[in-house]
Amino acid sequence: QVQLVESGGGLVQAGGSLRLSCAASGSIFSINTMLWYRQAPGKQRELVATVTSGGSTNYADSVKGRFTLSRDNAKNTVYLQMNDLKPEDTAVYYCNAELSQYGSHIYVNYWGQGTQVTVSS
């Protein structure tokens, strides 16, 4: 009933930029926190950034100062602007949203399909 669709991944040289998008669709009443994770080959999924319903953001130390997370509540969309990309940023990036649907009192986490980001040196 709910889908999170990511886009914007690709191949970029070190020092370049990409903007990832995650659009939530379906019967959505409210979205609380939206989060970005990433997972490199052979590694566990890592929390990259979060944004609350009020717009407060938090970032992993590894991306602080380079990545910026924002959200458009009217479009149920979150954006991850990634600047000064480094080879160690190479990973599959996943969007996650804590949301409730119409007729439900429960907030549930939903995951996007993931989008590949590859940074060459």
Predicted pLDDT at 98: 95
Predicted pLDDT at 118: 98
* pLDDT average, residue stretch 76-84: 96
Q: Does 73 score more than 90 pLDDT?
A: no
* pLDDT average, residue stretch 113-121: 97
Check if the beta carbon of residue 83 is closer than 8 Å to that of residue 66. Answer: yes
* CA distance linking residue 74 with residue 68, whole number of Å: 19
* CA distance linking residue 71 with residue 26, whole number of Å: 17
Label residue 1 by pLDDT band (50, 70, 90).
confident
Q: Which tokens hold the place of 115?
A: 């989008």
pLDDT (tens digit, 9 = 90+) per residue, 24-70?
A: 999 999 999 999 999 999 999 999 999 998 899 999 999 999 999 99
* CA distance linking residue 119 with residue 96, whole number of Å: 22
Burial of 56 (0-12, 13-18, 19+ CB in 10 A): exposed
Predicted pLDDT at 7: 96
Predicted pLDDT at 105: 86
Check if the beta carbon of residue 13 is closer than 8 Å to that of residue 74. Answer: no
pLDDT (tens digit, 9 = 90+) per residue, 8-22?
A: 999 999 999 999 999
Check if the beta carbon of residue 110 is closer than 8 Å to that of residue 37. Answer: no
106, HSE (Cβ side, Cα atoms, 13 Å): 3
* pLDDT average, residue stretch 102-119: 94
Handedness of CA 96, 100, 102, 104 (dihedral sign): positive
DSSP 27: S
